[in-house]
Amino acid sequence: MTDTLTLPPRTGPTPSRRPHLISGPATGLFLAALLAGLVAALVVGISIGSVNLPLGQVWGVVWAHLTGRGAQADPLLSQVVWEIRTPRALLAALSGAGLAVAGVALQALVRNPLADPYVLGVSSAASLGAVLVPALGGTALAGAFGVTGAAFAAAMLSALLVYVLSQRSGRLLDSWLVLTGVAVGYLCAAATTFIQLQLNPGELQGMMFWLMGSVAGASWPDLGVPALLIAVCVAWLALQVRALNALMAGEEAAIAIGVPVAALRIGLLVAGSLLTATVVSVVGGVGFIGLMIPHMARFVVGADHRRVLPVSLLAGAVFLVLVDLAARIADRPNELPVGIFTTGLGVPFFLWLLRRRVKGGGDAA
Amino acid sequence: MRLDLAGVSARIDARLIVDDVTLTAGPGEFVALVGPNGSGKSTLLRTVYRSLRPSAGIVRLDGRDLWRMRPRQAARHRAVLPQHGQAAEGFTAAEVVAAGRYSHKRSLARETSADRAAVGTALDRVGMGWAADRLVTTLSGGERQRVLLARALAQEAPLLILDEPTNHLDVGSQLLLLDLIRSLGLTLLAALHDLDQAAAYADQVVVLRDGRVAGHGPPAEVLTPAFIEEVFGVRAHVGPHPLTGRPHIAVASPVTMPDEPTTTT
């Protein structure tokens, strides 16, 4: 046929407005600003602690170690900054980034913005795996896995269970996935509570703190494995951003567009579980980041994963560095678990953002 | 692009929904799939857009087995306008349509001017160019349907599958959409609810009943009053459309509606 028809345009009732708070070329600037914010948060986070250190000296020590030259005036100062505070701040950044990206992966997996590592039971399972190791004492099983390995194994096992139970005639049902995840999460939480009751009070104190989340006591060797695993997961997700966008339009639409949906969903489940288990096994249960940060990213830059992924990654890192800072200075010289702060600071801010968004546009994500 | 279904059967939970269906859509031909609710129309279409693997039979595009293609390769051959088109929150119309370019892209490739042109052309063609930067959640149901059609067009595939494309559209939009897809020169396979639209627009109709082909051929030959009554349980009048001269089908309930308006005393 020679002439193709064109439907007559329907003009909209209102003049066009910018669809997202930040779009187009401004996105690059926003990412640069987030990166600068992360560096600033890290430096501030390193300088403040039981003893406050001048920013200039902190920067001097970090610079000296990064470049391998410069005067190292005070060995004690150098040790506090480089051996204690820097790994702690970096672990907070890594954990925040990992949890935020886990949220992006899991929300795309179930196409439900309410999904996060907690909703799908992955966090609870990882915690159960982690408490099992001290509970089993020095048995061969516990020794072979270690806390990280046990948390990861439990997280993957629960994710697999949830995934299999949510299938119906070869299709993954989103609503079942959430319901099954919540149920498995409760089961793991109950088992964790039972194990805690078997421990003596001394062990319990440490375990409670750990279950609420903490980046205290981080050292350089603790950073390697999480950094590697998070880098691998983020790199894989970065290759899938277009497919994730297509998946948001529904399973059948994604198949029609050419996305290998089944393989993609298995990959998302593995990546989400791996990220969650990695973080939970190192810093314990830190809630809400996986749910909240991707939402905030979408509020600001829209739902396109080409922007949501990098923004979530950086915003999650900045957020947990700042939260760890707050946890250290709120009740000096005591430290509070960061889990209290992620939720305590996060929930009011999130609700405010949500209300504001609904009032402004009527299209809350 | 020629579409052949040969002896296709499909099961859901071991229940046979589509039973040994054979049909052909030649290049540029519009084949309408009609049948009562539950006759297997949507399930049959799922075997063509690769959401449900046939339990028996084969689906061929220009002689090649669709189910042996890689996902992206299949997507370059056939596009789909699904029945339950969902508008994901937080995406603009242009971003939704850009997803249709997936099969033409490598994972990390940047958007090229060809991609942007395809997106713009597709949006203009459905009359939605003005909405490129609007969030799809702010559009009306009919406008969203147009955006989803634009996404399928941006795929630039020679075969277009449509599952009840006129659902949720007002009557004017329904006819405009059918006029548009007919003008594209693509091979079309569409499940349609409205017998009158099937008769007016399709080159061939395939009538499904209980998962089997009850009749197929040009609308004027297949959709006779007796056959419509047998399959759909309604009385039917078939004749030229008073305005267009195309085949026209008027239907009436077999029991409750009287032939003439009557007055009661």
- For position B8, which CATH number holds? 3.40.50.300
Interface pTM, i.e. ipTM: 0.84
Tens-binned pLDDT, residue by residue, of chain A (365 aa): 435 567 666 555 554 456 777 877 788 899 999 999 999 999 888 888 777 888 888 888 888 888 876 666 677 888 888 888 899 999 999 999 999 999 999 888 887 777 778 778 888 888 888 788 767 765 555 555 677 778 778 888 888 888 888 877 666 777 788 888 889 999 998 998 888 787 777 666 666 656 677 777 788 888 888 899 999 999 999 999 999 998 888 888 899 999 999 899 889 988 988 898 888 878 877 878 888 899 889 888 988 999 999 999 999 999 999 999 988 888 777 778 888 888 887 778 778 766 765 544 444 33
- Residue A327 φ/ψ region, left for φ over 0, alpha for ψ in the -120 to 50 degree band, beta for the rest: alpha
Strand order in the sheet with B56-61: B15-25, B3-12, B56-61, B64-65
Of the two residues B115 and B56, the one the predictor is more confident about is: B56
Is a pLDDT exceeding 80 seen at residue B225?
yes
User: How many domains does the structure of chain B reveal?
Assistant: 1
User: If you write DSSP's letter for every residue of B161-221 in order, what string do you get?
Assistant: EEESTTTT--HHHHHHHHHHHHHT--EEEEE-S-HHHHHHH-SEEEEEETTEEEEEE-HHH
Residue B187 lies in a domain: yes
A30-70 per-position pLDDT tens digit: 999 999 999 999 988 888 877 788 888 888 888 888 887 66
Query: What does the pLDDT average to over B163-169?
Result: 85
Domain range enclosing B197: 3-252
Residue B257 lies in a domain: no
Residue B37 lies in a domain: yes
Interface contact A303-B124, CB threshold 8 A: no
| Shortest CA distance from A301: residue in chain B | B90
Residues in chain B within 8 Å Cβ distance of A3: 183
Min Cα–Cα distance to chain A from B35, Å:
22
Residues in chain A within 8 Å Cβ distance of B127: 6-10
User: If you write DSSP's letter for every residue of B76-112 in order, what string do you get?
Assistant: HHEEEE-TT----TT-BHHHHHHGGGGGG--TTPPPP
CA atoms within 13 A on the CB side of A307: 26
Min Cα–Cα distance to chain A from B192, Å:
19
Best of B52, B66, B91 to disrupt the A interface by mutation (most A CBs within 10 Å)? B91
Residue B50 lies in a domain: yes
Q: What separation in angstroms does the CA of B197 have from each of A183, A255, B126, B175, B200?
A: 48, 28, 20, 8, 5
Interface contact B89-A303, CB threshold 8 A: yes
Interface contact B184-A6, CB threshold 8 A: no
Best of B30, B103, B135, B175 to disrupt the A interface by mutation (most A CBs within 10 Å)? B135
Residues in chain A within 8 Å Cβ distance of B59: none
Report all structural domains of chain A as residue ranges with CATH numbers, in order of start: 76-357 (1.10.3470.10)
Give the pLDDT confidence score for residue A360 in this predicted structure: 42
Residue B263 lies in a domain: no
Residue B12 lies in a domain: yes
Min Cα–Cα distance to chain A from B62, Å:
18
CA A152, CA A229: separation in Å to the nearest integer? 11
Beta carbons of B179 and B30 less than 8 angstroms apart: no
